Amino acid sequence: MVIACDKSGYPAMIKYTTENSTNHEFIKIIKAPCLGSVKESDILEALEGKCDRILLVGCPIDSCFHQNGSRFAQRRVNRINHLLEEAGITKRVAISFVTAEKISEIKRTLDLISSTPVQEEHKP
């Protein structure tokens, strides 16, 4: 799943999917007003389903349209990944900072998170 901010992330994703033949199985692309509005509980809820990987795509940290949205989102992503690791869950969240002109970061991140194997989660 991709959550993209409507200022930079979403336009970048549109450009990316237009220019690249999709070899990643996206479940969906969700638009958010700003990555800063995405709560940890939203991300965790999304991971409860079949989705194993979530990518947040938004403005670069120092040029976030809403000032600190990308900065806070980065911290939240780090925190969620720590929680997932602590709980022994191999699902992961990533974040990519792009502009509509510079979308190479998206491919790099997608390749990276897609390559990490995911184990089936079973209650002990």
Partner 1 sequence: MIIGERKPIPEILAMLGDSKKVLVLGCGTCVTVCLTGGDKEAKELASLLRIKGYEADSLTVERQCELEFIHPLRESIQSVDAVISLACGIGVQALFELDSEKSIYPGLNTTFMGMPVKQGYWEERCWGCGNCIIHLFGGTCPITRCAKSLLNGPCGGSKDGKCEVKPDRDCAWQLIYDRLKNLNRLDWLLTIQPPKDWSTSRYGGHRKMTREDMLL
Which stretches of the chain bind partner 1, using CB under 8 A?
Answer: 39-41, 44-45, 47-48, 83-84, 86-89, 91, 121-124
Contacts of 123 (CB under 8 A, 6+ apart): none
- Of residues 79 and 102, the one with the C-beta less far from partner 1: 79
Taking the CA atoms of the chain, what radius of gyration do you get in angstroms?
A: 14
In three-state secondary structure terms, 94 is strand
- Of residues 13 and 55, the one with the C-beta less far from partner 1: 55
- Of residues 6 and 45, the one with the C-beta less far from partner 1: 45
Hunting for tokens 């699902």 — which residue is that? 91
What's the closest the beta carbon of residue 18 comes to partner 1, in angstroms? 33
